A and B are shown apart, each in its own frame.
Chain A
């Protein structure tokens, strides 16, 4: 399993659009993807619904986990998406 810890930095946090972008990107990989919060709540990285319900705001620290084919690339790409503030400003 590959993991990487990232900080949400776009101002609006994990709102609808970021959740959609994240789940879309995660869906491109065969690997299972999860997002885990600091207090241990988990969301399926391919589910926009679960990602939104984590209620992540700017400054939240989360761990992206992936296991299976393409896991390394998946984690790298998703961490980049978060670090790049989902293309916001």
Chain B
């Protein structure tokens, strides 16, 4: 068969190659044929007892799954399963199935399928996307009940014994928590988007994943060799020998990188001349804080709280936010955790916060602009952050600050939140550090003025580069212009670091540049104080830093800052690496 190229949405990076495992939940025999029970009370009783036994089995399965999920994935994921367990006890669900068996005299299977369709149909007809998705939960549990009635165990994903690429229409919540990342190397689904449950789970398990591949997956047969590129969202089905070889090489390279990381993870980040460097991780959920700590992070440099909001059916309240922030603070055990207030808007919409579509969202109503427009929401978040500060070393940071007025207003809301907590006697860190993200060029230009008032800066290179160079890096036609080695960007970075040091403050970096080993000597030379990156990059950067001498890097930075093109900068950095014996 011909090679097939499938393009979907890349949601969890990594290159993996393995045979396909086609997974579709076996709906025990599909929809049951309509039938009627004999008008014998004994037959009805027997049918009700079958149904009851199926319910008990299901309940047990879900309780097991939930215990397992709580252990391996944290309370959030376990919540999905406990929600399904709860459904089984809902008076509008199981008792209605019993009623169908009794009143309509239909077999248990038919009662289950009938009620499930009825309830799922109601959810599907609702206007909220979140509610529509609940239909999948209902069908998931319906499938379980039918399987239990057929007295067969679900063909669990745990049964996979070889390394495979999982191919599925979509994964139900109770499926995803059975994924074993040792065996499921990658996954491709027909449905789903970047913020779907499957995507988030794949990322936290390190499974390369492409979702939303559409009907293209119909061309995949069980056992077909598939190469998945989870960053590019591309899959090659039945690749040529050369393509397969290339993917294998990239997969092995990734494995070597992970192994190198493991070796460096436990060591502190120290340069060749003995300077300690603060290396921290970027995280999106509290559960990732634990993983980051295990991977050798010296703290959390960026907690992107928006995932907490994007994965919720409704705006999470103070308690729920507090629990998540406290969990992250506790996982870091006294090491700093910088919590960034919600950075929504732009490409990150919230279904329950009715934000109008904008022609130019990246220059529009987003991040701190929403926070200051909706100070009620910002204050709830700040109260939760403050309360968590009693349980660890918590700092707070505001995104997208473009001028001093915004910072002062945000700081004002923080002070109000503190005052409220003081009045109610809640514990928090009175000296909590508050800083800003430097991602708008105007903030970098005004760094001297900001430095008198903020406790720290964190440079977000992704947006800083996009705004400084006026380049949308998602636009293929102009993406070549996107380069954090552009001299204009480097000047801004130097200006920010120097301004903070003059005022006795510090500067961190939480964008993609911090995780690039080529940039490491330059950033060290510029005097960057804290580096925050995806936890997977920590080992590479620790290793790089261990070979660097700070004085040599200072001279390098001085000479690099005189160069006038990104190309010249890269050349100088590559030459520096060659000179100290690195090969790229």
- A interface with B by C-beta (< 8 Å): 11-12, 15-17, 20, 23, 43-44, 46-50, 52-53, 55, 87-89
Contacts and interface: CB of A to CB of B under 8 A. Distances in A.
B416 to A, nearest CB: 14
A12 B122 contact: no
A6 B572 CA distance: 70
5 contacts: A12-B315, A16-B313, A47-B91, A49-B90, A52-B134
B131 A55 contact: yes
Interface in B91-113: 91-93
B131 A87 contact: no
Interface string B246-285: 0000000000000000000000000000000000000000
Interface string B302-340: 000000000001110111000000000000000000000
Interface string B126-137: 111011001000
Given A53-B122, A55-B126, A87 B91 contact: no
Contacts of A46: 91
B380 interface: yes
Contacts of A55: 126-128, 131
Contacts of B87: 48-49
B92 A12 contact: no
A82 to B, nearest CB: 15
Contacts of B314: 11-12, 15-17
Contacts of A15: 130, 313-314, 352
A55 B131 CA distance: 9
Contacts, number: 54
Contact of A48 (B86, B122, B130): B86
Given A17-B314, A53-B123, 17 more contacts: A11-B315, A12-B315, A15-B130, A15-B314, A16-B83, A23-B90, A44-B91, A47-B90, A48-B90, A49-B90, A49-B92, A49-B93, A50-B92, A52-B131, A52-B134, A87-B317, A89-B318
Pick the most buried of A15, A49, A89: most chain B CB atoms within 10 A of its CB: A49
Contacts of A17: 313-314
Contacts of A48: 86-87, 90
B126 A88 contact: no
A89 B92 contact: no
Contacts of A20: 86
A89 B313 contact: no
A47 B92 contact: yes
Interface in B501-550: none
Nearest to A55: B126
